Structure 1
Amino acid sequence: MADSAKWYVLHTYSGYENAVKTSIEKFVKGRGMEDMVLKMEIPMEMVTEVSDSGASKEVERKVFPGYVLIKMVLTDETWHLVRNVRGVTGFVGSANKPIPLSEEEVLALGMEKHEIVVKYNVGDHVKIVDGPLASFMGIVEEIEPEKNKVRVVVSMFGRETPVELELDQVETQK
């Protein structure tokens, strides 16, 4: 069942995000529904605040105040469990039909990361396997796994041109 779990967005009273998350976790555990409600996140970011005196400090702040992201299998039972928690005003969606986040939205929010195993190094000859430059050959100039980027120098029209691609758009040349 966990395979059919999707990410949804819950709307809460502002300032109730942590209480909602804690309450749902407690209800899920009490009812043995850990296989139905898998994960909850309150996206946070580190921000530097500068006071009037010029002193700066790092503080953690909610990226989306009033919202909680929840990965769950949507059934009548899970819908009612989540919907009836104090502080929850509803799901983001149309009327009573929650709309799941798309794969791209989940990745953009950083909720789930797809790990890509890089089998090439700087200086290796690679072949571009996807995108407008598919089938071009090049040499890896730089790899940035945390950004999912690789820079490859490709020879086009007799000129060396650096192109930035995603890690899975290139593969080692055999």
Structure 2
Amino acid sequence: MERWYAVQVRTGREEAVLQLSKKMIDGSVLKECFIPYYERMKRYQGEWHKEQYILFPGYIFLVTEQVDELFWELKKVPGLTKILGDGMEFVPIKEEEKVILQKMGGSDHIAEMSKGYVIGDIVTVISGPMKEMKGKIKFIDRHKRLAVIEIEMFGRKTEVRLGLEIVMKLSADTRLLEDDYEKDTI
């Protein structure tokens, strides 16, 4: 059965370790190796630019059916800190965590920008990966077009940054027509 494993690496070396893993680990053992990214907008030179950032700094993800063989293959790869486990054996990420990663990033493992609006203190996400994450927004920075959400990952609650563009902000006493936007309040 194919399982996903999180491997800790030195922050800032994720891409280098990913490339080494793809090159050095036998393809029959390693089905996929990836880094989840998120998109966000950044303003420079007077314009907004879409950029990608690592969703979980310090981690890469490996997909395999043969975890014991993967362990020996990882010995060849410099820069790996450790594969997450319980001290006795390697523990794959939970199925719910895998589903969250798949919903957020799809097959490309890139969480696209979400769009939403604010009425009073209520944020309504109308498109993007955050649309499915009701009640998980902890903080929104409208100027940086960024949201911090809390999800269960690596067996603990983890705060993650995702791109969020607020396309409209209205006061609490303003009413929208139901046809204007989907109701999906977080």
**TM band (smaller chain):** 0.5 to 0.7
DSSP-derived class of the 2:81 partner: strand
CA offsets, 1:78-134, max 9 Å, x none?
202124411100012222522111222111011667xxxxxxxxxxxxxxxxxxxxx
Q: 1:109 to 1:36 in 2, by over 3 A?
A: same
In the TM superposition, structure 1's runs of 4+ consecutive aligned residues that sit over 3 Å from their partners are: none
Cα distance in structure 2, aligned partners of 1:112 and 1:82? 26
Report sequence identity in percent. Answer: 24
Task: Give the corresponding residue for 1:46.
Answer: 39
1:9 paired with 2:6, answer yes
Over the aligned positions, Cα root-mean-square deviation in angstroms equals 2.9
Report the count of equivalent residues. Answer: 111
CA positional deviation for 1:17: 1.0
Instruction: Give unmatched runs, 5+ long, in structure 2.
Output: 108-126, 133-183
Bigger relative contact order, structure 1 or 2 (CA pairs below 8 A, ≥6 apart): 2
Q: 1:105 to 1:75 in 2, by over 3 A?
A: closer
Cα distance in structure 1, aligned partners of 2:28 and 2:24? 13
Alignment partner of 1:107 out of 99, 102, 112: 99
Cα distance in structure 1, aligned partners of 2:12 and 2:58? 7
Q: Matches of residues 73-152 of structure 1 in structure 2 within 5 Å? A: 73-95=65-87, 97-110=89-102
TM-score (norm 1): 0.54
- For the 8 Å contact 1:106–1:112, the answer to whether it is kept is no
**Mean Cα displacement is larger for which, 39-48 or 80-89?**
80-89
Task: Give the corresponding residue for 1:23.
Answer: 20
Instruction: Give unmatched runs, 5+ long, in structure 1.
Output: 114-143, 149-163, 165-174
